[in-house]
Amino acid sequence: VVGTDTSITKYKIVFLGEQSVGKTSLITRFMYGSFDPKNQATIGIDFLSKTIYPDSDGSENSGKVIRLQLWDTAGQERFRSLIPSYIRDSNVAILIYDVTSRSTFDYLDTWYEDIKEQKHDFDAQLESGEFCIVVVGNKFDLADEKQNEDDETSDIKRQVTYEEGERKSKIYGAKIFMETSSKTGYNVNQLFKQIGDILPDFD
């Protein structure tokens, strides 16, 4: 928690995962409801904020009000040194892989170790809910067999099953596992809604 005023609680969410899994695209989809297929520069050292109302039906005057700070990260050397401090300060770490890239899935173990290193009382924080892990398999659209079965030119295939992702998320003690697509928007709002639901009340 970075601070509370009268009614709004702020939470920091850090996005971790190998280059190109879609961290920046997922943030862009959630923030602006859009997708840019060109390579985007990572937001870098800064964060974006978005207020959500997880209890409400869309009207903004009922239930809890939560401000999410979304911290994008990049694998390039010039940004990498900042990641440990982002992790240390975060309430939620989203570990993202690309469902069409086995190596990005396997590499999550390294990010998980980084988290354990930075969060000194890792087990206690997970237990209390003070810190949460979320696992996301992105680029679901590319693995959607129904959508791709007519497209014989596409040789992009799913390399990680849903069950494998789910199993790994349990090993990590993650509270949420989801497959998403920043391209189509599949499960993106649901993901942040669920995050809003699991965030602890600090009052």
Nearest residue to 133 (alpha-carbon basis) of 83, 102, 175: 175
Asked if residue 76 binds ligand GDP (CB under 6 A), the reply is no
Nearest residue to 202 (alpha-carbon basis) of 129, 134, 115, 133: 129
Nearer to ligand GDP, 9 or 100 (CB): 100
- Applying CB under 6 A, which of residues 14, 21, 65, 133 lies at the interface with ligand GDP? 21
- Applying CB under 5 A, which of residues 9, 11, 24, 179 lies at the interface with Mg ion? 24
Contact 64, 55 (CB under 8 A): yes
Sign of the C-alpha dihedral, residues 14, 17, 18, 22?
Answer: negative
Asked if residue 138 binds ligand GDP (CB under 6 A), the reply is yes
Residues 28-57 that bind ligand GDP (CB under 6 A): 37, 39-40, 42
State the Cα–Cα distance between residues 160 and 79, nearest whole angstrom: 28
Half-sphere exposure of 114 (CA within 13 A, CB side): 22
The CB-of-174 to ligand GDP minimum distance in angstroms stands at 19
Give the CB-nearest residue to ligand GDP. 22
Asked if residue 25 binds Mg ion (CB under 5 A), the reply is no
The structure tokens listed for 42 are 């990572």
Binding site for ligand GDP (CB under 6 A): 17, 19-25, 37, 39-40, 42, 138-139, 141-142, 181-183
Contacts with Mg ion by CB under 5 A lie at: 23-24, 42
